[in-house]
Chains A and B, each alone.
Chain A
Amino acid sequence: MRIQVKQLGAVLSSRPAGREALLAVRSSLLRDVKKTEALELDFEGVDALTPSWADEFVTPLREEWGDMLHCVNTQNPSVKATLEFLKQIHAT
């Protein structure tokens, strides 16, 4: 299953928005997806990803999907920096 993150917005900012996005995605795209299936978050077209939004959206998905979660098209500087930052803080 691949989620086009840009469908949730180009400027992904604020914790409430991240939470809302996760709730929406869980009730629709992820409803019938098993945790044993690979889940891809495609960041193509995302202009800005803040750590607050990402911590509410990506972090719970990473906790549930573990190594089955893959983030792709992460070249945008803020996407790269934010995902790397989240990895660091959740590793400690």
Chain B
Amino acid sequence: MDMKDARIQKAFDWLGKENGENFLLPDEHCPTRDVFQGRLEKMNILLKNAHELNDIASLIVVIVGEIGNNAFDHNLGNWRDEVGVYFSYDITARCIVIADRGLGVQTTLKRVRPEIQNDCEALTIAFKEIVTSRAPEKRGNGLKLVEKMVLAQNMKLDVYSGAGHYGIEHGETMCSGEEKVYNGVIAVLKF
């Protein structure tokens, strides 16, 4: 992952901290879903005004909306310390970052799939299968469409959780183990 973009580095720094409180700036921290929704709508307006992105603006909003809302869906009441998500973007640089200090994908999915062995397996299941840790609710399909959209529009999505890194780029997906462990989730979308 290219850390040259400071907003990407900040996400990794935040998740790496012993205590994540009082680290984020107010305008990059969404403590509640409502705040995230408001900022998502603002990003939508900026994307609409960038006419060269007209064809993919709505898809970008959907991808970011699904990932951000997943954080709230699965971590309400279970944040490590700082509640909510880090949400930062640069339309000109075509980069969007979302991160949370929640339970991480493996912990949440193991509630319903206790046989999951590692973070990579959990991430792959999250993107490839219709499964949810909020069983018996009928849900768990959003990331499948996220992957389809990223692939179809030749965007790049990297998701880190625990020691796993799931990447979607150039029509392919991959999952690899990372040396460092990130407790929570970091998602970086480039378009």
Per DSSP, chain A at the interface is helix
Instruction: Report the number of A-B residue pairs with Cβ-Cβ less than 8 Å.
Output: 79
**Distance in Å: Cβ of B63 to nearest Cβ of chain A:** 9
Contacts of A55 in B (CB 8 A): 138-139, 141
Residues B141 and A50 in contact, CB atoms below 8 Å apart: no
Q: Give the residues from 1 to 26 in chain A that come closer than 8 angstroms, CB to CB, to chain B.
A: 10-11, 13-17
Question: In whole angstroms, what is the CA distance A85 to B147 when docked?
Answer: 12
Name B130's contact: one of A15, A78, A79, A89 (CB within 8 Å).
A89
Tell me how far the C-beta of A20 lies from the nearest C-beta in chain B, rounded to whole angstroms: 12
Contact of B141 with A77 in the complex, beta carbons under 8 Å: no
* A60 vs chain B, min Cβ distance (A): 10
Query: How would you classify the secondary structure of chain B's contact residues: helix, strand, loop or mixed?
Result: helix
Is A81 in contact with B59, judged by CB distance below 8 angstroms?
Answer: yes
Our pick among B37, B55, B69 for the contact of A77 (Cβ within 8 Å) is B55
A14 near B62 with CB under 8 A, answer no
- Most A CB contacts (10 A, CB to CB) among B33, B37, B44, B62 go to B62
CA A49 to CA B145, docked complex, whole Å: 12
- The residues of A that contact B65 with a CB separation of less than 8 Å are 11, 13-14, 48, 50, 52
Question: Which residues of A does B touch, CB under 8 Å?
Answer: 10-11, 13-17, 47-52, 55, 76-79, 81-82, 85, 89
| 17 A–B pairs (Cβ distance < 8 Å), ordered by A | A11-B40, A11-B41, A11-B65, A14-B69, A15-B69, A15-B73, A47-B57, A47-B58, A48-B61, A51-B62, A52-B142, A55-B138, A55-B141, A78-B62, A81-B62, A82-B145, A85-B145
